[in-house]
Amino acid sequence: MDRHSPYALVADDDALIRMDACEILKEAGFRCHDAATAEQAVELLGRFGQNIQLLFTDVSMPPGTMTGFELARRCAQNWPHIGILVASAGPPRGPGDMPDGALFISKPFTPDVVREHLLKILPEGQRPEPLENGAD
């Protein structure tokens, strides 16, 4: 991975899941920012949003007041260039919870499932090189 690799932002209240997601994304060619709450994620988006290509967020992130669905909608509204994956151990909620173009991923997730979703959400030409090379 080099200094030209795109950034992903991982938002999850569970430190182990956050680390696991970051590791999977690093193997796919991303550099990672991470946040324990949606509020921290919004702060990072405000600082680095123009350089972030992917938001990977959990739905439930206590002790914050904002859910991952709210974070995803705010991200889509303010940073429409960012691809969004929303993860949860529960089922996806109803229509309107996720912004258009966002994908839902069930927990627990595997590297292969994350990679499959990344190929769906990131357009060709905007995928990190390791992901693009494995896309055959």
Question: Distance between CA 12 and CA 98 in Å, rounded?
Answer: 17
In a domain, 38, yes or no: yes
| Sign of the alpha-carbon dihedral angle for 106, 112, 118, 121 | negative
Would you say the pTM of this structure is higher than 0.85? Answer: yes
Residue type, 44: L
In a domain, 1, yes or no: no
Chain segment 109-126, per-residue pLDDT in tens: 999 999 999 999 988 877
Residue by residue, DSSP assigns 35-73 as ESSHHHHHHHHHHHGGGEEEEEEES--TTSSS-HHHHHH
129 to 41, 57, 86: CA distances (angstroms): 25, 23, 23
In a domain, 130, yes or no: no
User: For residue 18, what is the domain's CATH number?
Assistant: 3.40.50.2300
In a domain, 136, yes or no: no
Confidence of residue 136 (pLDDT cuts 50, 70, 90): very low
In a domain, 32, yes or no: yes
In a domain, 134, yes or no: no
Q: Which residues contact 64 (CB under 8 A, 6 or more apart)?
A: 13, 37, 38, 39, 40
In a domain, 83, yes or no: yes
Domain count, the chain: 1
Count other C-beta atoms under 10 Å from residue 65's C-beta.
Answer: 10
Chain segment 46-93, per-residue pLDDT in tens: 999 999 999 999 999 888 889 999 999 999 999 999 999 999 988 767
Range of the domain at 17: 7-123
In a domain, 132, yes or no: no
Which of 22, 20, 17 minimizes the C-alpha distance to 1?
22
Question: Distance between CA 29 and CA 38 in Å, rounded?
Answer: 24
